[in-house]
Amino acid sequence: MFWGKVFYTKFDIVIAICDENLIDKEIITKEKLKVKVSKNFYGGQLINEEEALKLMEKATIGNLIGEKIVELAEKNGFIEKENIILINGVPHAQFVKI
């Protein structure tokens, strides 16, 4: 399961999806940079894989964090492996459809 939220702008549909276990967690890098997986940003609703794929399909911009969601996005062609970064071992990727 994942937490997912949709934001609508004038020209884009932006999605934020994270693995369920990461919501409201802080990821701290070796350089002491803190990344908060905020419920305010990611926590719209709890969704399954099928719903996550539907959101990624309709989105023009995606922000993904977590091993499971990034793997799902890569497996389904939304992102490529070389565009995945690790934040203290946690995969993170973004995509933009042009």
- Cα separation, 7 vs 40, whole angstroms: 12
The third-level CATH classification (topology) of the domain covering 2-96 is 3.30.1860
Average pLDDT of the residues in 84-95: 96
CA dihedral 6, 9, 11, 15 (to 10 degrees): -20
- Cα separation, 88 vs 33, whole angstroms: 10
Average pLDDT of the residues in 58-76: 98
Quick one: which of 8, 17, 21 has its CA closest to 73?
17
Question: Residue 29 — very low, low, confident or very high, per pLDDT cuts 50/70/90?
Answer: confident
- Cα separation, 82 vs 52, whole angstroms: 21
Q: Looking at the whole model, is its pTM more than 0.75?
A: yes
What confidence score (pLDDT) does residue 48 get?
Answer: 98
- The predicted-structure confidence for 32-57, as pLDDT tens digits, reads as follows 888 999 999 999 999 999 999 999 99
Average pLDDT of the residues in 74-98: 95
